[in-house]
């Protein structure tokens, strides 16, 4: 089975920049609340004469109102993609291509004034296919029953939610996008992103601490225009609801920790933890260490079979001026693939690149070079170049337990008539440039080139992929 991923996923952007879910979003990214003044506990003359720090109003206290605080923005995204998967002969080879112009009209209301502020968000998504056949899959449009569909243009409500805010806590219900979440980061590598139906809570009541909770039931997937049940990314197992809770604490200017847990009904319970710490300066050498772990265990009816899987990654990076080097190691501990929610980049492991390196018992190693033009007189220009290799995969335990004609979720454990095993490797480069000024300020051009070489019995096939994405944001008000 071929599981397409994008190196542009948010999980890798977080690792490259050395940050781990340090702020949550409510439409745009929310800001941490500054220190509030602590009044003297003695209520007397001395206290009345003390010069106390002023209490900074909360975000809700500063609300401009439902209309005055609203924003309308457009994002135009021109997306082209070519994917080649060589076969044993030309007739067995797979070639998929697409060229799509997407547009997102995003309206975010302000909040009504008072103790509790109310508001809503609404976005209209639309796309026009410039090129690409039925085999393009979710690169273009997917038919209602699945499979490629030769549709020229499509439009649908991408986001619609109602929201409430008290102080620095926001609750939303409806179709929405989450960020800085190790389970629900959107897999946004097409002309239009996926969105999810449910309830989310994001709280920044305490300085440097972001708390999150939520429960979701449906997804509006990439390439689709209607809601469907959520599924697991590798097992393909549908489930009715995924709920999560967790938080991230920025314990210093250069370090953070995160703890999260989720439950996919009748499939699994999953736990996540991470720690990140930086020392030094880019003027000399800035060292950043990052470690994280997922622990996944079957629950309820266990519709994806028994799961007892742990996965972790460790990375160390060094940056001097514009140049950065990262070494990342990742390992899967268990007889199952490390799995996550489909349509998300809910895999913050460092070696989730073109492919995920997530087969049972697999180990992987990555070497990455980054260039940040901000430190070299070229603001807006960035490049990332990487190579990765995986080894030690062994899916025989699950493959032999269920056999070649086992349940659908075991198909991934077989490749060319044998249980998944073997080595594989990949190389990639992602240069990008963001305009720093002028009429089209913040417009971005990104080129992605990735080459993956899989062995005969590894789950991910060999592939060569080239992607060009041009994004133009337009602020109306």
Q: Is residue 43 part of a domain?
A: no
pLDDT greater than 90 at residue 23: no
Residue 200, judged by CB atoms within 10 A of its CB (0-12, 13-18, 19+), counts as buried
Neighbours of 390 (CB within 10 A): 27
- Its domain, for residue 20, covers 10-24+59-475
- The answer to whether residues 349 and 362 touch, using CB atoms and an 8 Å cutoff, is no
| pLDDT tens, position by position, 384-393 | 999 999 999 9
The string of pLDDT tens digits covering residues 232-290 is 999 999 999 999 999 999 999 999 999 999 999 999 999 999 999 999 999 999 999 99
Higher pLDDT, 37 or 123: 123
Q: Is the pLDDT of residue 177 over 90?
A: yes
Question: What's phi and psi for 134, nearest 5 deg?
Answer: -65, -30
Tell me which residue has tokens 């609203």. 70
pLDDT over 70 percentage in the chain: 87
- Whole-angstrom CA distances from 82 to 136, 192, 427, 447, 453 are 9, 17, 16, 12, 17
> Residue 408, SS3?
helix
In this structure, is residue 147 part of a structural domain? Answer: yes
- 416: pLDDT strictly greater than 80: yes
Asked if 189 contacts 163 with a C-beta cutoff of 8 angstroms, the reply is: no
Helix (H) or strand (E) holding 308: strand 308-320
Helices (H), 248-287: none
Establish if 367 belongs to a structural domain: yes
CATH, residue 263: 2.40.160.10
Rounded Cα distance, 193 and 343, in Å? 9
Q: Where are the alpha helices (DSSP H) in 408-474?
A: none
> 129 near 141, Cβ under 8 Å?
yes
Q: What whole-number distance in Å separates Cα of residue 173 and Cα of residue 384?
A: 37
Average pLDDT estimate for 40-60: 57
pLDDT of residue 132: 85
pLDDT digits (tens, 9 = 90+) for 116-140: 999 999 999 999 999 987 778 899 9
Question: What 3-state DSSP class applies to 32?
Answer: coil
What residues have CB less than 8 Å from 253, skipping those under 6 apart?
none
When pLDDT is cut at 50, 70 and 90, the band that residue 51 belongs to is low
Average pLDDT score over residue span 387-411? 96
Number of domains in the chain: 1
Is the per-residue pLDDT at 357 higher than 50?
Answer: yes
What distance in Å separates the CA atoms of residue 189 and residue 427, rounded to the nearest whole number?
A: 18
In a domain, 88, yes or no: yes
Q: Residue 4: inside a domain, yes or no?
A: no
> Do residues 397 and 406 touch, judged by C-beta distance below 8 A?
no
Residue 189 lies inside a defined structural domain of this protein: yes
Tokens of 53: 């720090």
Q: What is the pLDDT of residues 60-73, one digit of tens each?
A: 999 999 999 999 99
Tell me whether residue 446 is exposed, middle or buried, using C-beta atoms within 10 angstroms of its C-beta: 0 to 12, 13 to 18, 19 or more: middle
Q: Which residues pair with 121 in a beta bridge?
A: 108, 161
pLDDT tops 90 at residue 14: no
Chain centroid to Cα 76, Å, comes to: 20
> pLDDT at position 53, please?
62
Asked if residue 53 belongs to a domain, the reply is no
Q: Is residue 54 part of a domain?
A: no
Q: What is the dihedral of CA 331, 335, 341, 343, to 10 degrees?
A: 70
For residues 41 and 334, the model is more confident at 334
Q: Can you tell me the distance from the alpha carbon of 223 to that of 115, in angstroms, rounded to the nearest whole number?
A: 40
How confident is the model at residue 150, as a pLDDT?
Answer: 78
Q: From residue 420, give the alpha-carbon distance in Å to each of 50, 84, 330, 350, 400.
A: 71, 22, 18, 22, 11
């Amino acid at each position: 089975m071929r599981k397409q991923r994008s190196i542009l996923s948010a999980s890798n952007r977080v690792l490259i920049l050395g940050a781990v879910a340090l702020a949550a979003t409510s439409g745009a990214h929310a800001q941490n609340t500054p220190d509030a003044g602590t009044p003297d506990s003695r209520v007397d003359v001395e206290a009345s004469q003390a010069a106390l720090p002023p209490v900074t109003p909360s975000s809700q206290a500063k609300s401009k109102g439902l209309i005055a605080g609203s924003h309308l923005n457009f994002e135009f995204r021109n997306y082209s993609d070519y994917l080649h998967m060589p076969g044993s002969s030309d007739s067995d080879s797979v070639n998929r291509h697409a060229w799509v112009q997407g547009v997102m009209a995003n309206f975010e209301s302000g909040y009504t004034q008072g103790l509790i502020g109310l508001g809503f968000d609404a976005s209209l998504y639309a796309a026009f296919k410039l090129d690409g056949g039925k085999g393009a899959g979710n690169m273009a449009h997917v038919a209602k029953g699945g499979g490629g569909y030769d549709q020229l243009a499509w439009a649908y409500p991408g986001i619609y939610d109602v929201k409430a805010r008290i102080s620095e806590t926001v609750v939303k219900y409806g179709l929405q996008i989450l960020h800085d979440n190790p389970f629900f980061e959107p897999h946004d590598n097409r002309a239009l992103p996926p969105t999810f139906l449910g309830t989310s809570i994001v709280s920044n009541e305490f300085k440097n601490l972001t708390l999150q909770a939520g429960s979701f039931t449906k997804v509006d997937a990439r390439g689709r225009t209607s809601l469907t049940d959520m599924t697991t990314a590798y097992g393909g197992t549908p489930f009715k609801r995924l709920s999560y809770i967790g938080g991230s604490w920025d314990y210093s200017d250069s370090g953070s920790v995160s703890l999260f847990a989720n439950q996919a009904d009748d499939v699994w319970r999953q736990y996540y933890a991470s720690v990140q710490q930086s020392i030094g300066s880019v003027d000399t050498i800035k060292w950043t260490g990052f470690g994280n772990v997922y622990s996944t265990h079957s629950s309820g009816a266990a519709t994806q079979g028994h799961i007892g899987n742990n996965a972790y990654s460790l990375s160390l990076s060094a940056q001097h001026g514009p140049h950065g080097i990262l070494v990342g190691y990742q390992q899967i501990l268990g007889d199952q693939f490390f799995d996550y929610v489909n349509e998300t980049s809910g895999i913050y492991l460092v070696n989730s690149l073109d492919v995920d390196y997530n087969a049972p018992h697999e180990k992987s190693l990555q070497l990455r070079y980054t260039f940040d033009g901000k430190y070299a007189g070229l603001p807006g220009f960035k490049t990332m170049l990487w190579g990765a290799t995986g080894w030690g995969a062994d899916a025989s335990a699950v493959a032999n337990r269920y056999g070649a004609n086992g349940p659908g979720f075991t198909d991934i454990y077989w490749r060319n008539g044998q249980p998944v095993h073997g080595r594989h490797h990949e190389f990639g480069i992602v240069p990008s440039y963001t305009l720093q000024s002028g009429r089209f300020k913040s417009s971005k051009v990104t080129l992605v080139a990735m080459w993956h070489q899989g062995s005969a019995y590894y789950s991910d096939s060999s592939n060569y992929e080239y992607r060009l994405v041009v994004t133009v944001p337009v602020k109306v008000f």
